[in-house]
Amino acid sequence: MALSKKKKLILTFMRNFIFQNEESPTYEEIKTGLGFNSVGTVSWYVRELVKSGHLQRQKGFSGKRALAVVDDLPNQLPLLGRIAAGYPLEAIENREMVEVPPSWVHPSNFVLQVRGNSMIDDNIEDGDYVIIRQAEQADTRQMIIAYVNGEATLKRYYPTPSGIELHPRNPEFDIIYVSPEDEFRIGGVVLHVFRNYY
């Protein structure tokens, strides 16, 4: 769908503002710069541009200078939280953005930061980042994000006739046995691992 003239003006204004100031404008600055009557009008246009994928909130919903023009973004995926590679730990959503190799950018992909060393034999260390593809199914031995009774963990997936086994890759950690009575679902499959050295 073609953008209206005012939506195009907002995107152009934002690109110029970010280029000149190295930060995105506030709603008040957009209102003043483009002569809108109210901040509420700006807010409506911004919501519509976010819905259509032309703008993205980088620092959460309420961030004052959280908007970026999607065409101008580096290759990024959302960091949705931290996950235990030891024992189950809730993955907390925080909606930061993490730069990733361009080949891994896809709407179904996201990033989690690993806590713990239970996957160290797969070269996944505490503090590493994993790129996940959202999925509800996985093949045997694939590394997955598993939700067990409401908690999330990173393990290798082994379905068995009697239940599901979630295997660590560190002999110091125990296999997690999931019985048919447990609440279990797959949240995604691990595609790639990377770490930052700063």
153, HSE (Cβ side, Cα atoms, 13 Å): 27
* Cβ-contact 140, 152 below 8 angstroms: no
Distance CA 172, CA 185 (A): 25
Sequence-distant (≥ 6) Cβ neighbours of residue 45 within 8 angstroms = 6, 7, 10
Choose among 83, 147, 94, 142: nearest CA to 116: 83
Whether residue 118 lies in the annotated active site? yes
Residue type, 152: A
- 């003006």: which residue's tokens? 9
Q: Which of 7, 8, 38, 155 is catalytic?
A: 155
Task: Please give the C-alpha separations between residue 69 and each of 20, 31, 44, 66, 101, in angstroms, as whole numbers.
Answer: 14, 17, 16, 10, 19
Q: Which of 31, 38, 118, 179 is catalytic?
A: 118
Give the residue numbers marked as catalytic.
Answer: 118, 155
